[in-house]
Structure 1
């Protein structure tokens, strides 16, 4: 991206993008303006500054926690560590969380947190200090708790930081029997759930796969039904992009390009994602991967010929300055807000199908919900039904073998007899959630004759939030 173009894209208020999309959806709703304004606004924005001793110096750290909606409690949203963290970004991400949770029927209000630091240049010891101090600040203001506000990982954070948050909360909340549920994304040994790491990327895969099963939609963009043979470009090889790329590759799609900060690599015959990751770990870059072409400007990779484009890194990467050059027929928003409203309009006129972020990357919060439920129930998934399922399957196989007078091969028998593990149940729940969410959006789009999936998704979310408020008796 040129400096001139980049400055124009970056100058765009991220929160105003969400408001514009919200306003488009509001045209399809006969709801009082005041109620819509309440849903659109952030309920609470907490900005904090706290001192932490880094080496021999004391540094003042800037941090945020935003609760966008209290239509359901607790609030839910990740915490990101980035030097680019600001109030507009955190407010926007909190709003997106509200709409995501509503679409996939996860009973949370949206929230988000952020600490303005660069975790790449700070020692582990100092990151721990900052994390624990931030948690204590949230506890002081009653902005964290199993029934109040439940953080999770985001950009720059992971299991390690979540375990520090849990430990700090536990130490300052003695006797809290549900303390494990104060945060999700924890290590499995501390109450985390199997399948959380790949959840967002897998949710992206399930959502796009479901779209590609729809004959009507595929006909509209001139593609065959199914994922097999589809040419895919993925921007961003972080947790979301990597897992999405892996699942697309395993499903028979051809990953023709992968883009990272330093540039992109391209091979029209396809890239082996696992080998690219090995190369990245060895060299520190995806560039110069064998049998691939380097592309210095990472934005140019978005403009290459492909069937499916997955922006899985930053917001506003597709904007009015490059939208006309996008050749993809389907765009799956794995990142938050990768397409600006102006670009949305341009791409819509070109007939590009956009699967919106407020639905497509809801896999993370869906599996976080499963973890939260696991922590509240104090029972791991599969513990009570695994042996029962295996025993029932054993009896069923015996009946089949007796009736058919034929033995089933041992390997096939092992596969059939195996009871559901935690990861099987988590992935099954995620798959069902993403499929149901897709069809609710699609059905609403068709019934109200809405122009695109994004607007339909916002209409669906707003309707569900209004319904929750009415059940609470807040609105007449």
Structure 2
């Protein structure tokens, strides 16, 4: 594994809390990756996520597209986003990172943060935009910024397009795997950990595709119903952190322990909340045959080995949750317009092709989907570097 282009630790002079930035790689002098805020966030965690972003960018490389993949990066702040001091920490972090955001690092929402909050804090920190480093690469900056702003203003049934595209990509990953296995959508049961941005949108798209969402977990515990939950009612009753107001539950809905989602009687498991959610002990509880990583790094490597040994397929985060990042750039560079239908169609087409490619490669090589994704990246990175320069 190569050394990152940039790795730094910041300490907030007011609260003593730490923040991190890792730029794994540059392409045309720019990198891409979100900013997360969670208690216990570490530099090693951020470095792993930055490397994952390099992979996500490379996996979406299309030599015919306007969007040219960037390098990978990630930011992280060790702070509970619910802490009253969190917003001040965020503003000071962005102010400290301003030179990097202005020149080499494009960023946006990730775990614990919303795009609205990041944008508000960025403006307070004196930034034009959290993606301004990419502006010099655009053919028409004014038109591109207007297109992205219009896309962010789109809502579909009460949820912003920027929230939905990631879940659309996750759902399409699930549906592609089911199609390849010859399994029907109707009757396929799903358990989702996390009903925030990614988990909530994923649950909506899977329910609308005909699957039955039988369990969802949030910070308060697991909500379960073997006959299927009313996903839209749960989405409407969420707070800003994805926590569901239990007063909307129906009499037949059950409240269970926080880790009950792991053992839910379901064919598909979607961890869509925190990293490192499934360890060696947790994996023994899982009866699902397909795990689809909507969160970043939710399945620990040793757990994945044990799961593979008993025939459980894990679709890796670097592919599954890459749709949000790609949608930003497809929109900004002009591969698609700001309309929801266009965004969903492009996301579905791209994600289906990518998941198909990964699963076909895994079958041909006799490896896991993750190993196949890594192999595809290893082939594409030198091609990107050869075309755009070996900047690190």
**2:164 matched residue in structure 1:** 198
**1:22 matched residue in structure 2:** none
SS for the counterpart of 2:40 is: coil
**2:157 matched residue in structure 1:** none
**2:254 matched residue in structure 1:** 293
Distance between the aligned counterparts of 2:259 and 2:204, measured in 1? 22
Contact residue 246 and residue 273 of structure 1 kept, 8 A: yes
Alignment of structure 1 residues 40-79 onto 2, 5 Å? 41-51=3-13, 58-71=14-27, 73-79=29-35
Task: State whether structure 2 residue 101 is matched by structure 1 residue 144.
Answer: yes
**1:236 matched residue in structure 2:** 194
Contact residue 279 and residue 289 of structure 1 kept, 8 A: no
- Which of 254, 265, 268 matches 2:212? 254
Q: CA deviation at 1:431?
A: 1.4
**1:169 matched residue in structure 2:** 127
Task: State whether structure 2 residue 169 is matched by structure 1 residue 213.
Answer: no
- Which of 305, 327, 343 matches 1:367? 327
Q: CA deviation at 1:473?
A: 6.0
The TM-score, its normalising length taken from structure 2, stands at: 0.84
Alignment of structure 1 residues 246-285 onto 2, 5 Å? 246-279=204-237, 284-285=245-246
Contact residue 145 and residue 332 of structure 2 kept, 8 A: no
Q: CA deviation at 1:474?
A: 4.3
Extract unaligned runs of 5+ from structure 2.
62-67, 155-160
Q: CA deviation at 1:424?
A: 1.9
Extract unaligned runs of 5+ from structure 1.
1-36, 52-57, 219-223, 383-420
Deviations 1:270-289, CA, capped at 9 Å, x for gaps: 11112223455697448965
Distance between the aligned counterparts of 2:297 and 2:212, measured in 1? 25
Change beyond 3 A, Cα 1:288–1:430: closer
Distance between the aligned counterparts of 1:450 and 1:337, measured in 2? 22
**1:8 matched residue in structure 2:** none
Deviations 1:141-192, CA, capped at 9 Å, x for gaps: x3113x6221111112223233232572239xx9x976997xx999965874
Distance between the aligned counterparts of 2:153 and 2:317, measured in 1? 23
The TM-score, its normalising length taken from structure 1, stands at: 0.70
Deviations 1:351-373, CA, capped at 9 Å, x for gaps: 11211111001011111213432
SS for the counterpart of 1:213 is: helix
Q: CA deviation at 1:329?
A: 1.2
Change beyond 3 A, Cα 1:191–1:364: closer
Distance between the aligned counterparts of 1:156 and 1:434, measured in 2? 25
**1:153 matched residue in structure 2:** 109
Distance between the aligned counterparts of 1:310 and 1:177, measured in 2? 35
Contact residue 151 and residue 339 of structure 2 kept, 8 A: no
SS for the counterpart of 2:26 is: coil
Task: State whether structure 2 residue 299 is matched by structure 1 residue 344.
Answer: no
Change beyond 3 A, Cα 1:144–1:428: same
**2:158 matched residue in structure 1:** none
**1:428 matched residue in structure 2:** 345
**1:117 matched residue in structure 2:** 79
Distance between the aligned counterparts of 2:285 and 2:16, measured in 1? 44
Task: State whether structure 2 residue 49 is matched by structure 1 residue 93.
Answer: yes
- Which of 197, 203, 213 matches 1:245? 203
Deviations 1:221-279, CA, capped at 9 Å, x for gaps: xxx53322211111111111111011111111011111122211221111111222345
Contact residue 185 and residue 196 of structure 1 kept, 8 A: no
SS for the counterpart of 1:316 is: coil
RMSD: 3.3
Distance between the aligned counterparts of 2:80 and 2:284, measured in 1? 34
Distance between the aligned counterparts of 1:457 and 1:450, measured in 2? 13
Task: State whether structure 2 residue 354 is matched by structure 1 residue 437.
Answer: yes
Change beyond 3 A, Cα 1:231–1:283: closer
Deviations 1:319-343, CA, capped at 9 Å, x for gaps: 2113233110111111111111111
SS for the counterpart of 1:154 is: coil
Aligned length: 369
Q: Which has the larger radius of gyration?
A: 1
Contact residue 42 and residue 67 of structure 1 kept, 8 A: yes
